[in-house]
Every structure is written in structure tokens, then in C-alpha cells.
Amino acid sequence: MPQHVRSIFLVRHGRTSYNAAHRLQGQVDIPLDAVGQWQVKQTALALKDLYVDRRPQVSRQLIVCSDLGRARATAQAFADVLGGAELHPDPGVRERSFGEWDGHAVDELAERYPEDFKLWVDHKDGEMKYGAEAKSAVGERGVAAINDWSTSAGDDTDLYIFSHGAWISQTLQTLLGLDRVDPAFASVLSMNNAHWVRLLPMDTADGGLRWRLMDYNHGPAIADTDEWERER
């Protein structure tokens, strides 16, 4: 059986001003806003409490992050509560590019490109003529990054990848084979800010490895209250 980590966490970055204003971020490098900075501290503490402090059999946390600032800051909050763990930035876990639509408000896109916007909302690729990265390409580079990092350590290690909403959704659908059932990538919604996915391994009879979904859109308990989005 191949060497692999004990579990994988895919963590979405905290809130930004673009999230709050319903603007497509894509690969625009937008920092966390004040709410996002508070959110990632809560998520860091929750991850440590649930999966580090209560799991003495896992002695190491391997932290990978997108090279965009909002994801890196979210990863840094977790590294800080662990006492300064090292971050490994990887452009392979960067957010999907929406091409010319990057940085534009959703309402603006709906007004300027009504037909293509509706196609995009209906998962019919209306964004593609504006230079957006194909969902399948996002999923493929995401799975490649997971395969590389998850086999770089053994079962004394958990892998944490801090990334973005579309990247997580499209990577997860590709990893689990949902893209073959639904090529439109409409089966998994984007997660809330500063929430996470947990994946557990299964060694297959032919000597391979599969990852199974254990948790999706999991967040700290306080995320289920009005405090999560309160302005700060």
C-alpha cells in the first residue's frame, strides 16, 4: 500500500470584502476583512481542539495553502495556534480563474451579460467565453496537488490544505468521481467561509488508495449563530 497521511482537511479562507459585497474574486488577491480575520481565529482554535489536541496518535500537521493572501492568512492563523508550524504555499491550490469576470460584482455581471450569466448560474458554462478556467481543469490540478501532498508523509500526519470555494468544490467532485456522474460540476455547493472538509483514506484491494468524504461544510459551533457574520 502507498504511504499516505491519516486524513485530509480542505479549508476555505475567511471572509473578504469581496465576499461581503458578492463580487467574484477568482484569482484577484484580496485580503481578509475584519470579519474574516476573526473567523479564521475561531476556525484555527476549533481545528486544534477537534483534530490536534484530541488525537495524540497524529503528531504532525502538514499545512499547504494557496499562494493568494486570503488563503495564506487563514493557514497562518492555524499555524499560529500550533506554535508556528511551517506553511507550504502551492499555486496548484489557487482559486479558479473567472477570466474577465474576476473582480466584478455578481449584480453587475447579471446586468451586463444576462444570457451568459444565466448560463453560468445554471452550470452551462456561460463564463467560458470570458476566459474562465474550465472546471475540469481546476479539479484535475486540485487532485494532482492532493495526490502529491497526501503521499509525502505517513499516518502520523494530517494534511491541511487552505484554499478557496470553487477550488474545493471542483476538486472534491473530481476526487470522488462525481464529475463523471455530473460533468456540469453542479453536485456540490461552495462552502461557507472558514469551513472545512474532512477526508479519510481507504486502501483498496488492488493496492491503490481512495479518499472518502467524512465531513463537509463543517465549522466552529459559533458559525451556526448570528455572530459569525457580525461586522467587527
pTM above 0.95, yes or no: yes
How would residue 223 be classed by pLDDT, with cut points 50, 70 and 90? very high
Task: Show the domains of the chain with their CATH numbers.
Answer: 7-97+135-229 (3.40.50.1240), 98-132 (no CATH)
pLDDT band of residue 2 (cuts 50, 70, 90) is confident
Gap between the Cα atoms of 206 and 185, Å rounded: 28
Catalogue the active-site residues.
Answer: 13, 95
Grid cell, residue 143, equals 487532485
Q: What is the pLDDT of residues 13-40, one digit of tens each?
A: 999 999 999 999 999 999 999 999 999 9
pLDDT greater at residue 159 or residue 204: 159
Q: pLDDT tens across 69-113, in order?
A: 999 999 999 999 999 999 999 999 999 999 999 999 999 999 999
